[in-house]
Structure 1
Amino acid sequence: MIGKKSSINIFPKSIWREFKETPSFDSLQKSVETEVGIIGGGIVGIISAYLLAKAGKKVILIEAEKLIDGVTGFTTAKITAQHGLIYDELIKSIGQEKAKLYYDANLVGLNLIKQLAVDLNIDCDLSEENSFVFAQTKEGAQKILAESEAYKKLAIDGGLAKKEVDLPFVVEEALVMYNQVQFHPVKFLTGLVEEIKKLGGQVYENTRALKVIDQEELVIVTENMSLISCDKVIIASHYPINDNEGIYFTRLSVNRSYAIAARTKKDIPVGLYISADQPTRSLRSVLSKEGEKLILIAGDGHATGRSKSKTIEHYRNLEEFGEAYFDIKETLYHWSSQDLTTLDKVPYIGRKTVESNRLLIATGFNKWGMSNGAVAALILTDQIVEKENEFASLFDPTRSKIKKEPAKSFIKSNASVAKEFISGKIEKTAKAVADLEKDEGGMIEFKGEKNKSLSR
């Protein structure tokens, strides 16, 4: 730490999970029937459950642990179509027309969240902000210039904005996307959960889905062997279950990133920020439960299992950045999250396999799960109510056309992770409890029994 001792506590804690008003639900203890079964109580599962219940569908939502306690509860909570420097890359990999669709889709997702917050009167600290990518190096500036040309081609509301940034350091270049949003995800989704209850939707916590059996009807098999018979199933559990169908572990890379929320002596920048340079630094303001404005600094990501540093060092790197530029007084929260990325960086949303349109998934949001998650809920709802959606083909999980160079790059970068993932699925090798570091999870051997999951 620059100039002082780190104030990071030994145990991770997300600022979003400090909100304690999310209702609790019993676990499922009997077999039941429904029209739509939804696996996963994060942003995709909850918005989908609300939209489907509002459309008159009988819905059951199950969560393995507590609602909003997975990736959605450990996000930076930026709702934006500015996903770093992605549009120049998308134009090259999937073409200009589809890149434009991706932008439009994420604006639709953003506006859905805004509209629901207004219509349902949900107080979720939502504010409209401009979103910036900034570069502190000439190399990063060149990337931003290329991305600015993509903005022009796609008619994106934004452009070069070096003079518009509100940062306490010199930038070589910056790119803005206007009128984006930040919010409190747990407050927002808690409001939707209350609406799901009013609409007759059923919610069960501590109900882990083991698999989905595809027979005359779909059957979700839970850990306590309660069965949920469904016409349609949405798998919104971050990583898809039934992975032998679609072999998604070969089509998704896994990355971990980190975040802190801290008090500062200096002013906190207005707007949303992410660096074009590596290691990534993502910035926004956030309100504590007492209403105090804090700075949220995120980044320092790496492929899961590939970091040469201890977990605490990643948090300290973020803290040192904050101390250098914002004079951090105290780090109050720190957390990390694992994110999945697809081959072409466009999420998989829709039918899980070519053979069945009854089993639907949403995964691979590439760290941008708020806008993409809302888009996913819209697409999945439309598919279940048999309504055409202009974005469905773009996100179709069964798509196969991909240019060679992006595919080769993905395979090369993901080879060792995939090898470990495949090995884990075949052999399920276990660790001893003592082998796990703090804030690390894994499969462990406990009292002679293997394949028990544990997090320290």
Structure 2
Amino acid sequence: MLNSLWLETAYPRETYLPPSSDTTCDVCIIGGGLCGLTAAYLLAKSGKKVLLLEKDRILEGASGNTTGKLTTQHDLVYADILKTFGAESAKVYYKTNDQAIRFAQSIAEGDELRPSNSVLFARTAIGVDALRKEADAYETLGIPFDRRLNCELPITVKETLTLSDQAQLHPVRFGQHIAKLAVSEGAQLCEKSDVRSMNLKNKSLQLASGIVITFDELLLCTHYPIEALRGMNIMKLEVKRSYLLSAPADMPLQSQYLSVDEPKRSIRTVFIDGRPHFLLGGEDHKAGVTGDTDLNYNRLAEELQSVYHLGEPIHSWSAQDPSTPDLIPYAGPISAAMPYVHICTGFRKWGMTNSLAAAQIVTDQITGQPNPAIALYSPDRTGFGTLLLQALKTTGFVLKEFTGGHLTRTDAPICTHMGCRTRWNKGDETWDCPCHGSRFRKDGSVLEGPATRPLDLKE
């Protein structure tokens, strides 16, 4: 039953062959998700010779396991951004993500994209207070919104905050479409192309096959940067996991919903080939900290039946995403010492708009085009105080998991990234590392990084 609705209903899959010989390119992109594919399209369109490497198959990672919401309403975020960065930066964040929606609308075909409103809703007095503070931030920033109670759900809601003219994606079909656009512009997309080593000083990398790729610019769109130690990004990113279910339902919701109270719930209707599917998501937790993830799926399934009066879910899937300390993703050079190595990460579960935005930001930086979001999304923007607090928090957690894992999970395989003991994820049947979010399939092969080498299941 653990299968993504998006991956099961994708277009017929194209096959993108790995490189057959040593190759030189202007820009090498590692990661075949929505961000990497969009960057490949935009950079190739600008005239760059682009090579994209995906270790498995494109769109089968985070992009194929998302909620598919394409919106500027990223939970309760604008009040915090306004307080931390000021009004001008908060406006840049909103406009950058709004432009990502308009970009997607301009190229999507068929039912890859559907218009929708986005609604934050509160069920408690605490939630209402938080929602009103967010509405005040919208007003300060000039973001058009509607405070009238708007809820189609069969639950009691005290207050809502609505943004109109948002959208929903079928992320895999949309990503497949962008992949074709990238190829039409001359980009070379390569699947089954596992990067095993890098020599960033010499601007080269080697694949598991032995093929050597030489580049002028390198773009890491690997969700969690595999070169995370450089620039201390390993100390800045916190990885969380969440779960989703879908079931056929005659419930054509006109809006997509997110609760501001705990437990968090994401709710929307998905239309695929004219058929509606109800999608329910939530049950967030730090990646790798729990093994019995069946409990997370079961809680959602029980709610699906008791609250929404639907049957057993047909599809169940999960995904994880890193967050930066200050809510804004990273898109740009990984460090001042290596301005030709770029990262796109930290989308905080809002990767549909932010992945498109990050791809545009990095493209503009590489091609020398002005973009007001370059400074805001810069990976080196994080101040020392914020970095130190996050480093202490993350390092403390990592040390606890590293030590505790080796004492209590002595039979669990050791993560090949930094040596932490993994934990068996019963629901997804994967080995998950609680230290930095690496995940491995049942056979030990890498599902997602920062690890790049498979587990040794014989040790």
Determine the C-alpha separation between the residues in 2 that align with 1:248 and 1:336. 24
Determine the C-alpha separation between the residues in 1 that align with 2:110 and 2:189. 22
- Pair 367,361 (structure 1): closer, same or farther in 2 beyond 3 Å: same
Which residue does 1:6 correspond to in 2? none
Decide whether the 8 Å contact of 1:236 with 1:361 is kept in 2.
yes
- Pair 234,25 (structure 1): closer, same or farther in 2 beyond 3 Å: same
Determine the C-alpha separation between the residues in 1 that align with 2:401 and 2:210. 27
Which residue does 2:411 correspond to in 1? none
Describe how 1:223-372 pairs up with structure 2 within 5 A: 223-264=208-249, 267-288=251-272, 291-307=274-290, 310-372=292-354
- Pair 87,60 (structure 1): closer, same or farther in 2 beyond 3 Å: same
User: Which stretch has the larger CA shift, 240-249 or 391-400?
Assistant: 240-249
- Pair 319,161 (structure 1): closer, same or farther in 2 beyond 3 Å: farther
Amino acid at match of 1:352: I
Which residue does 2:370 correspond to in 1? 388
Decide whether the 8 Å contact of 1:250 with 1:418 is kept in 2.
no
Which residue does 1:134 correspond to in 2? 121
After TM superposition, give the deviation of residue 364 of structure 1 in Å.
0.3
Describe how 1:211-226 pairs up with structure 2 within 5 A: 211-216=197-202, 218-226=203-211
CA deviation vs aligned residue, 1:77-131 (integer Å, no higher than 9, x gap): 10101001111111222222212211111101111111122xxxx2243111110
CA deviation vs aligned residue, 1:28-53 (integer Å, no higher than 9, x gap): 24211111111000011101111111
- Pair 316,445 (structure 1): closer, same or farther in 2 beyond 3 Å: closer
Aligned residue among 80, 83, 87 for 1:92: 83
Which residue does 2:399 correspond to in 1? 419
CA deviation vs aligned residue, 1:378-424 (integer Å, no higher than 9, x gap): 111111111111110000001133776x974x557645544368776
SS in 2 for 1:452: coil
1:43 counterpart = 2:34: yes
How many percent of aligned residue pairs carry the same amino acid?
A: 30
How many residues of Structure 1 are paired with residues of Structure 2 in the alignment? 430
After TM superposition, give the deviation of residue 444 of structure 1 in Å.
9.5
- Pair 125,242 (structure 1): closer, same or farther in 2 beyond 3 Å: closer
Describe how 1:165-244 pairs up with structure 2 within 5 A: 165-216=151-202, 218-244=203-229
Describe how 1:147-158 pairs up with structure 2 within 5 A: 147-158=134-145
Amino acid at match of 1:379: I
Determine the C-alpha separation between the residues in 2 that align with 1:301 and 1:326. 20
After TM superposition, give the deviation of residue 263 of structure 1 in Å.
2.3
After TM superposition, give the deviation of residue 258 of structure 1 in Å.
0.3
SS in 1 for 2:112: coil
Determine the C-alpha separation between the residues in 2 that align with 1:422 and 1:209. 26
CA deviation vs aligned residue, 1:142-183 (integer Å, no higher than 9, x gap): 110111111111111114232x22222221111111111001
After TM superposition, give the deviation of residue 436 of structure 1 in Å.
5.2
Decide whether the 8 Å contact of 1:27 with 1:207 is kept in 2.
yes
Amino acid at match of 1:310: D
SS in 1 for 2:94: helix
Amino acid at match of 1:419: L
Determine the C-alpha separation between the residues in 2 that align with 1:148 and 1:454. 51
Decide whether the 8 Å contact of 2:235 with 2:395 is kept in 1.
no
User: Which stretch has the larger CA shift, 14-23 or 227-236?
Assistant: 14-23
Which residue does 1:452 correspond to in 2? 454
Decide whether the 8 Å contact of 1:253 with 1:342 is kept in 2.
yes
Which residue does 1:4 correspond to in 2? none
Amino acid at match of 1:437: K
TM-score for the superposition, normalised by structure 2:
0.87
Determine the C-alpha separation between the residues in 2 that align with 1:422 and 1:400. 26
SS in 2 for 1:166: coil
- Pair 243,368 (structure 1): closer, same or farther in 2 beyond 3 Å: same
TM-score for the superposition, normalised by structure 1:
0.88
SS in 2 for 1:328: coil
After TM superposition, give the deviation of residue 337 of structure 1 in Å.
0.3
After TM superposition, give the deviation of residue 191 of structure 1 in Å.
1.2
Decide whether the 8 Å contact of 2:31 with 2:55 is kept in 1.
yes
Amino acid at match of 2:37: I
Determine the C-alpha separation between the residues in 2 that align with 1:15 and 1:454. 32
SS in 2 for 1:247: helix
